[in-house]
A and B are shown apart, each in its own frame.
Chain A
């Protein structure tokens, strides 16, 4: 820890921090644009000016220092509120705004724009500028990113991201001086799998997401913390939604999982949730006909009859690697205790390609919770080819899908078609629902609570953004009703209760209680969690400056 003085008050801050981070740790905001703790600091925006007295110096330096390039050290004195600093910030903001179009009313960034916010907090209330403004053109940089060059302040965060984090180097500065523009190298396109991050990094409205463009003012968005389901990495994200639609996913900082980033597969891979094709009510298919809408009791009756006729042990229960820990736990109990069947399977999206970048890895396992499934259902659970062989021996099956864009092998389709009874819980029409007698609407990851266990065995919580669609039932409720119809006596009243029970009854999940999981997750087997401390380092920075 380093003892430093900020604005006349003494603090202890973590070692090795920039003055921007250190100030954030103690709740002092130092405005900045070009600096980002995950990138090298070029100190080009000149916004984070501070009055600096190095340790042992008799007084402040003659020139203002940049907080971003100042490493805190014992005895350092920092002033962020002196007239000189205020004047320095005012001058920088006045310069930054002379060519800015001030088109906040039509800019997506308005409301979450650092230029807007810092101008409001620290800027001059008028401009002396009387000359012509530059109006460079707008341009599409890649499939997901558009640049509005008039708004760009040339902080080069985006360029440095493509150099340091993605290593793909599509972006560069072209021209010189006031003609500086961010652009792509000739013949290139900003199309790496991490490209969406430059939109988050852009402190102004220059780099915007083409996916989100003009869809909503940010202040109309509701937000919950969640976990990206597109691979086993478990990137911490914020789900932003409005009027029952997901409109944007953005990464949340977690230094042990995804840092400040997420990949484009995850970021833009939410559209299936908003699909008009989403399943909204239970459907039943008479032999050879199109499915007809029905109501839940009809299904419960049909299931009760089928179990009675075929015998519970002839039933297979297939979970999905997209189910939460809590759902998996109930599926396990349902198979073991209610149906008393050994036929337990796991459906998973096929393993894809792991993609490595200099400072980010996209996992090859395209399921969010295979780890959880294996821990809860047991290593011996039938999956992939073994799953279909197991189903070939069964007479009836209850299958949980929920995996977008899932494709089944030909053999699987034959086996499923041969079952006497097939109920499928899914969120969209799929190859599974095409073969099912009972098509049951489930919930997408933004419509449910629960936890995923990522490939590092970190249990992380999803918060529910929206109600299940139409007559859809959350899977834990569906399983509870079904269990009770089939003679069990389950009385779960919340997902939290299931999380707690899982931690108490499954040894691998010992300690993973709702309290220890919290916002940052709990690594299985890591013992008691240390008590919460005030946020440090990048966590403190992210809390102050990152969405």
Chain B
């Protein structure tokens, strides 16, 4: 197997000076995929993407090709929305693409639009990404000048306009229908589904919303082919119904928190959480790991007992958490888990859009309970109370919710997982009436209780070899 190594594809040459300009980008193979692209029939391209196993990198991990195949062919106009509202706490890979390789995103947009017959694309950029948006706007202007965007691209008769739109910094506008509402000039509140955006999205027309990282994969699939792409990452066999076995390609893991070298690591999917921490230089000062959030703050937290789960869509899903946005937050033994949860709950209570009842009233409720415990006003039974209220927003065990969007489960997951997995520390905190940092072995609920144990790791058809 070898030791996991970085494999830079999206992030190749990302730190090269001037990589955000058309000139440098093209010197290093940029826009090469367009030479092949217009030879490929759109339907064949959709099939290629489906075949490649590419899954949405924004959080849900839905098959990109499958999503494209739901878009009706006979409705005009259709839209593409590139989701650059990267706002999941612990996630920072898209921001760097916007700043350093905006042309890669544009190239991906051209490919997606060709496949779907789309002539208007919007890039919804998080409001805080001022530099990223500046560079992207400049790159789009360059692309227009070079005939890569606009009318009759490269003499193919294909027209495409790309616009950027700054968000105002709301987390919920990263949810695809919240993004669409915001783009339409309304309050960023997610829509009821169905209808899904592929059928009725922006301006009630078929719309594909795709994460920046997902789109950035497309040039490499077109250029190097499906087989090349499928030879990266992990593919499982015999996964349960509803669990996609494909984890092809590389993933941009954003490792942050108590590691020696935080940063974005591009690795083939298939390494374990433990290996990822090692890749980031290990836990700072050689301390012990206490908790790891594997996929952005919404993902259920992992204990030190769960670090040998492969960090991919399939395995994390089968072990009751998720790869999400790939934001890996590492917490060491100095962390008080009540405070860590409070930090997250403050965020969610602040960011709930307030549209639907369970989330509007439930999220601050969970925050208030957590804060009460943290401030030493906890009462016996509060841990169960916290879990019960969080489960009212979204039932994490049944995986059902009565909310309009998945924000509900994104709150309940961390709340319930922290409270269950670090119950001894929560109880000690309540008992003592002050923050208590228990040693890792004592802070964690024994693995036999309450969570996936032993871990389920299905047999793989393909795993990375790391021998490059």
Taking each of A42, A66, A91, A176, which has the highest tally of chain B beta carbons within 10 Å of its own beta carbon?
A: A176
Q: B351: CB under 8 A from chain A?
A: yes
Name the segment of B151-159, B243-251, B271-279, B395-403 touching the other chain.
B395-403
How many Å from the CB of B281 to the closest CB on chain A?
38
A99 lies within 8 A of B361 (CB): yes
Q: How many residues of B contact A (CB 8 A)?
A: 32
Q: A69: CB under 8 A from chain B?
A: yes
Name the segment of B94-102, B365-373, B429-437 touching the other chain.
B365-373
B352 lies within 8 A of A45 (CB): no
Bits for A429-440, please: 1 = Cβ < 8 Å to B, else 0.
000000000000
Q: Which residues of B contact A46 (CB under 8 A)?
A: 356-358, 402-404
How many Å from the CB of B6 to the closest CB on chain A?
39
Q: A224: CB under 8 A from chain B?
A: no
8 Å CB contact of A88 from B356, B389, B402: B402
A45 CA to B170 CA in the complex, in Å? 22
A178 with B360: in contact, given A91-B402, A92-B402 (CB under 8 Å)?
Answer: yes
A177 with B363: in contact, given A46-B402, A92-B402 (CB under 8 Å)?
Answer: yes
A345 CA to B436 CA in the complex, in Å? 92
- A261-291 interface with B by 8 A CB criterion: none
Q: How many residues of A contact B (CB 8 A)?
A: 34
A154 lies within 8 A of B354 (CB): yes
- B349-407 interface with A by 8 A CB criterion: 349-358, 360-365, 368-369, 372, 385, 388-389, 392, 399-404
B354 lies within 8 A of A95 (CB): no
Bits for A47-65, please: 1 = Cβ < 8 Å to B, else 0.
1010000000000001110
A130 CA to B388 CA in the complex, in Å? 14
Q: Which residue of B lies closest to A181 (CB)?
A: B354
A69 CA to B360 CA in the complex, in Å? 20
B364 lies within 8 A of A178 (CB): yes
Q: A180: CB under 8 A from chain B?
A: yes
A98 with B357: in contact, given A63-B401, A92-B402, A178-B349 (CB under 8 Å)?
Answer: no
A178 CA to B353 CA in the complex, in Å? 8
Q: A9: CB under 8 A from chain B?
A: no
Q: Which residues of B contact A180 (CB under 8 A)?
A: 354, 360
B192 lies within 8 A of A66 (CB): yes
Q: Which residues of B contact A355 (CB under 8 A)?
A: none
Q: Which residues of B contact A64 (CB under 8 A)?
A: 400, 402
A177 with B358: in contact, given A46-B403, A62-B400, A131-B369 (CB under 8 Å)?
Answer: no
Q: B187: CB under 8 A from chain A?
A: yes
Taking each of A43, A96, A153, A177, which has the highest tally of chain B beta carbons within 10 Å of its own beta carbon?
A: A177
8 Å CB contact of B357 from A63, A92, A128, A173: A92
Q: Which residue of A lies closest to B193 (CB)?
A: A69
A131 with B360: in contact, given A176-B354, A177-B354 (CB under 8 Å)?
Answer: no
DSSP class of B's interface residues: helix, strand, loop or mixed?
Answer: helix
Q: Which residues of A contact B350 (CB under 8 A)?
A: 177
Q: A179: CB under 8 A from chain B?
A: yes
A92 lies within 8 A of B360 (CB): no
A129 lies within 8 A of B356 (CB): no
A467 CA to B365 CA in the complex, in Å? 55
A177 lies within 8 A of B352 (CB): yes
How many Å from the CB of A171 to the closest CB on chain B?
13
Q: Which residues of B contact A44 (CB under 8 A)?
A: 355-357, 404
B351 lies within 8 A of A95 (CB): no
A257 CA to B364 CA in the complex, in Å? 45
Q: Which residue of B lies closest to A100 (CB)?
A: B361
- A61-112 interface with B by 8 A CB criterion: 62-64, 66, 69, 88, 91-92, 94-96, 98-99
Q: Which residues of A contact B363 (CB under 8 A)?
A: 177-178
8 Å CB contact of A131 from B192, B354, B365, B402: B365
Q: Which residue of A lies closest to B371 (CB)?
A: A131
Q: Which residue of A lies closest to B350 (CB)?
A: A177
B392 lies within 8 A of A91 (CB): yes
Q: Which residue of B lies closest to A33 (CB)?
A: B357
A128 lies within 8 A of B402 (CB): no
A234 CA to B187 CA in the complex, in Å? 38
A177 lies within 8 A of B357 (CB): no
Which B residues have a C-beta under 8 Å from some C-beta of A? 170, 187, 192, 349-358, 360-365, 368-369, 372, 385, 388-389, 392, 399-404
Which A residues have a C-beta under 8 Å from some C-beta of B? 42-47, 49, 62-64, 66, 69, 88, 91-92, 94-96, 98-99, 128-132, 153-154, 173, 175-180
List 13 A-B residue pairs with CB atoms under 8 Å apart, sorted by A's residue number. Answer: A46-B357, A46-B402, A91-B402, A94-B392, A95-B358, A95-B360, A98-B365, A129-B365, A130-B372, A177-B349, A177-B350, A177-B351, A179-B354
